Structure 1
Amino acid sequence: MNSIRWLMIVPFIGMLGGVPFVNQVTPYVFGMPLLLFWLVAWVIATSVIMAIVYRFDPAVKEDEQT
């Protein structure tokens, strides 16, 4: 397995592993409770991470050439 694909586990850890630490209502970020902001931020970060993996994965380049 290619090493760039290991980046795909980061959103999983961020969403599920970080929730117990940010499970609070009182601090608001952009008008959202901290937990909601945390999850929205990870959804956006997941899109960015998937784009990076797609861009640098050598298997994609091999498929494009055939």
Structure 2
Amino acid sequence: MNKQLFILILFIIPFIGQLVLLPYVNRIHPIIFGLPFFHFWLVLWIVLTPLITLIIYKMEKKNGGYE
């Protein structure tokens, strides 16, 4: 797979998780770590989005995109 395509897919994943899937996870049950599922989902993406951004940054830096 082309690295630029992989980076684009990584870039799109947080948008899908936070915006597209949001109506499907808008529920109270199950309760995870004391949070309703909807809130757990949002907190999960608050953690995952910077990690995905870090992966994209490292890949771009390795390709010489950032100096």
- What pairs up with 1:1-66 in 2 under 5 angstroms? 2-6=4-8, 7-57=10-60, 58=63, 59-60=65-66, 64=67
Taking only the aligned residue pairs, the percentage that are identical comes to: 40
Q: Which amino acid is 1:44 matched to?
A: V
TM-score (norm 1): 0.81
Q: Which runs of 5+ in 1 are unaligned?
A: none
Q: Return the structure number with greater helix share.
A: 1
Q: Which runs of 5+ in 2 are unaligned?
A: none
Cα RMSD for the two superposed structures: 1.2
